[in-house]
Amino acid sequence: MKEKVEKLLAEIRPSLQADGGDVELVEITEDNVVMVRLTGHCGGCPMAQMTLKNGIERYLRQSLPEIKGVERVS
């Protein structure tokens, strides 16, 4: 599962990097919640929660339906 999530994050990473941000996988919990850290401009952006839920989470859940959600850690 971790490899699949890493591959999907790599696919969306260029769009985040284009705005000066990035995302890194921290862990995947036992109940399939993906924990990520937003870095760069994404780390302090007021739109980060929207990027996380409407972008990253939506993309991961469409590709891997077993993912229950995506949460941000500091």
- The domain that holds 46 is classified in CATH as 3.30.300.130
Residue 42: is its pLDDT beyond 90? no
- The domain containing residue 61 runs over which residues? 2-72
**Least reliable range by pLDDT among 18-22, 45-49, 56-60:** 45-49
Element (H, E) at 60: helix 58-63
- pTM of the model as a whole: 0.90
Q: Structure tokens of 15?
A: 């769009």
Element (H, E) at 48: helix 48-50
Rounded CA separation 64/74 (Å): 24
Query: For residues 49, 55, 56 and 62, what is the CA-based torsion angle, rounded to 10 degrees?
Result: 140
Q: Which residues contact 49 (CB under 8 A, 6 or more apart)?
A: 72
